[in-house]
């Protein structure tokens, strides 16, 4: 096997230098080794592979609705009182809120009738207007969300690195 010159020279000099360089690389990437008894999640690895090579659409995962919002997140939505004189309407049923009635407020500050938003959140975890996502009880979906967020961060980091190299 032909190793690149850098690796050949590193191996010739000192094997511990290579180990140090690799551990620095892994630490920089935020990777940690698996613990005792831990095994890799092969489904996540396959999903990443499909996504990275543009095949995720072929699986049809992007067309499915996200899982429902967690019951805890729905229960903890703040209840607000509609003040008299406010002329807001519920974006789901399009009825105006009655004065001194109660409504549910999402973290994105959109306001809905409780009887409109709760059934919605039992089907999917996002705001019907802006798609702000509430947490779910689905561990796989939560991992997918974190991976998607990290991919966006990596793109920004890569662009920042690229810009810093060429400016």
88 neighbors 105 (Cβ within 8 angstroms): no
CATH code of the domain containing 118: 3.30.40.10
Among residues 93, 95, 90, 94, the alpha carbon closest in space to that of 105 is found at 90
The string of pLDDT tens digits covering residues 38-66 is 888 888 888 888 888 877 766 665 556 78
- Distance, CA of 107 to chain centre: 16
Structural domains in the chain (count): 2
What is the pLDDT tens value at each position of the chain, 167 positions in all?
444 444 444 445 555 555 666 677 777 877 777 788 888 888 888 888 888 887 776 666 555 678 999 999 999 999 999 887 777 889 999 999 888 889 999 999 999 999 999 999 999 999 999 999 999 999 988 988 899 899 999 999 888 888 887 76
Q: How far is CA 99 from CA 23, 86, 103, 106, 140, in A?
A: 62, 7, 11, 20, 42
In a domain, 154, yes or no: yes
Task: Give the C-alpha separation, 55 to 78, whole Å.
Answer: 40
In a domain, 16, yes or no: no
Half-sphere exposure in the Cβ direction for 29 (13 Å, CA) = 10
Same domain, 118 and 89: yes
Task: Give the C-alpha separation, 19 to 132, whole Å.
Answer: 43
In a domain, 115, yes or no: yes
Half-sphere exposure in the Cβ direction for 161 (13 Å, CA) = 6
The pTM of the full predicted model, rounded to 2 decimals, is: 0.55
Same domain, 113 and 145: no
In a domain, 152, yes or no: yes
Same domain, 152 and 118: no
Same domain, 116 and 149: no
Domain of residue 150 covers 138-166
In a domain, 56, yes or no: no
In a domain, 101, yes or no: yes
Task: Give the C-alpha separation, 116 to 90, whole Å.
Answer: 8
In a domain, 110, yes or no: yes
In a domain, 33, yes or no: no
Rg (CA), the chain: 24
């Amino acid at each position: 096997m032909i190793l690149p010159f850098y690796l050949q020279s590193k191996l010739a000099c000192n094997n511990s230098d290579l180990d140090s360089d690799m551990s620095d690389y892994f630490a920089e990437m935020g990777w940690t080794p698996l613990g005792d008894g831990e095994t890799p999640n092969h489904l996540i690895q396959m999903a990443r592979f499909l996504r990275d090579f543009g095949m995720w659409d072929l699986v049809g995962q992007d067309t499915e609705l996200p899982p429902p919002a967690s019951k805890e997140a729905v229960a903890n939505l703040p209840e607000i009182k509609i003040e008299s004189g406010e002329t807001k309407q519920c974006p789901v049923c399009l009825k105006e809120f009655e004065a001194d009635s109660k409504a549910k407020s999402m973290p994105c500050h959109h306001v809905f009738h409780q009887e409109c938003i709760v059934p919605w959140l039992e089907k999917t975890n996002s705001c019907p207007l802006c798609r702000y996502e509430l947490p779910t009880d689905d561990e796989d979906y939560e991992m997918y969300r974190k991976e998607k967020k990290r991919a966006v961060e990596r793109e920004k980091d890569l662009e920042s690195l690229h810009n810093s190299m060429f400016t």
